[in-house]
Structure 1
């Protein structure tokens, strides 16, 4: 079978490249590697490059990025700034909206199919339900802008860390997206984040991700054990040894049951399956692409979400 042949119901597979320079002068070599691996998508780390300053796009840098991403045999998705928080306090929300607008413009300029942004969180003493209202309103408006740019916003479930009071469980994120009901506002289902959040809340992981799956046009795939980071550890190798935290391990190294996910979750047509591997495990990438393609094939064999 042609390595690039599309899988039924799955739009394609890809992986997130890891930025090593804020000026992305090493991008050509990273895209050459992706070309050799025969993936369908590459996810670009907009959050790690100097593209937006004070909410304004640096047009000279964007022009260089557009030039660097032309004429490749794969498509692109993009991960927006991690700091965007549409549930932040009302007085700080305009900053987040400006950065989101900038990220949508960048994603449109490079032809990215999906722009991943993190679900919001509440850290202070704000009313949680009003914070969800702010997020719904902001996402609905951003969805209109994304649609005009030819981009789908894919809101990624995250987990609680630092002094975070609230971030949506996968099932709650599904309900929020259902309430917004915007064709350009969908989900990124991050399985490891979901396991961490569900274990923290002591709720059923499979039930929660099955609720979000029909909204998830984008998947972030990486392994972990779903254990919070609680031990004193200096190096990432120690965290891996303890099995704690958001480890971004190769598939099969952690405790996630990928076969059960494939048998339980039902995803919409056009889903992109994206590997998010920690840079320290990059030597595993070629073998992991084969594992990822096998997982995507199992997803493709399952009935579609309706």
Structure 2
């Protein structure tokens, strides 16, 4: 842990071979960057199959991860959605339970779950979806607590996969306060939060929104963007970069996220992890991104009070 109370800097790994036979080489490469933690993309590893853990694949992951001097976090299936229709929620929970077991076996400190998404609809329907999410996240928090894992709900952005509405950073903070569970916190994805506000024409509210969610954010997703909607047909990712559209997962400093203002004005919980999510096409500047993020983590303001008053 850094002198300011931050856990330090991590980076998300990328799966290589589907059988994970070369995943140890990925982790070796990441350790050479000098990070304190690695986020594991278990959502794309065929470890949870039909709601159950496939043990041969789990053992392959354990072999790759074992004996390393880093902390781990886990990003589970992106499709788990507790704002979904009520009849589907037990299925989401089945997948989450298995995924939390995977995280616990790996010794992960943080488990990332996406905030819910619902189609655009009238207010009563939206509020009913928020109620479902509060009830089921509280249940999920109990399971996470049993495994010694912090469930971290990630900020998303409007229009994700055309499904419509997801909470802003401030609304997610409001929901977490209502749940008030010691094992349910936030993953603050800065790019997602900016994209969400840009959709509503409220970019100027970004810092205030971040201030609201920061006391809940035990886990951060650090990558840059311009916060512009991905609403023009593009042929390549390179074209999206040229226009600055979408959730680009750029190196820190390439976009328009005001990183210095964030660490100057926001207060995060002690033990917060600055985890980088860098697109593979930009790994030629991975070390620069780690160094920039280490500076941010070292300058961050933290507090032992993990909840907003």
Comparing 43-52 with 54-63, which one deviates more in the overlay?
Answer: 54-63
Within-5 A mapping of 1:46-85: 46-85=42-81
Q: Tell me the equivalent position of 1:157.
A: 155
- Write out per-residue CA displacement over residues 206-263 of structure 1, whole angstroms, 9 at most, x where no aligned residue: 1111100000000000000000001110210010011000000000100111111111
Distance 1:82 1:165 in 2: 16
* C-alpha distance 277-185 of structure 1, shift in aligned 2 (>3 A): same
Question: Once superposed, what is the RMSD of the aligned Cα atoms?
Answer: 1.4
Residue 193, structure 1, aligned to residue 189, structure 2? no
Within-5 A mapping of 1:10-89: 10-89=6-85
Distance 1:14 1:303 in 2: 17
Distance 2:59 2:29 in 1: 22
Distance 2:234 2:75 in 1: 28
- Write out per-residue CA displacement over residues 33-85 of structure 1, whole angstroms, 9 at most, x where no aligned residue: 12212211000001111111221111221122122211001110010111111
Within-5 A mapping of 1:1-306: 6-123=2-119, 127-161=125-159, 162-203=161-202, 204-299=205-300, 302=301, 304=303, 306=305
Distance 1:9 1:42 in 2: 18
Check the 8 A contact 1:214/1:305 in 2, yes or no.
Answer: no
Secondary structure of the 1:223 match is coil
- Write out per-residue CA displacement over residues 72-100 of structure 1, whole angstroms, 9 at most, x where no aligned residue: 01110010111111111112112111111
The Cα of 1:6 is off from its aligned counterpart by: 2.7
Check the 8 A contact 2:151/2:183 in 1, yes or no.
Answer: yes
Distance 1:197 1:280 in 2: 24
Secondary structure of the 1:10 match is coil
Distance 1:7 1:223 in 2: 26
Distance 1:132 1:65 in 2: 35
Distance 2:17 2:239 in 1: 26
Which runs of 5 or more structure 1 residues have no equivalent in the other structure? Answer: none
The Cα of 1:124 is off from its aligned counterpart by: 6.8
The Cα of 1:163 is off from its aligned counterpart by: 2.9
Comparing 124-133 with 101-110, which one deviates more in the overlay?
Answer: 124-133
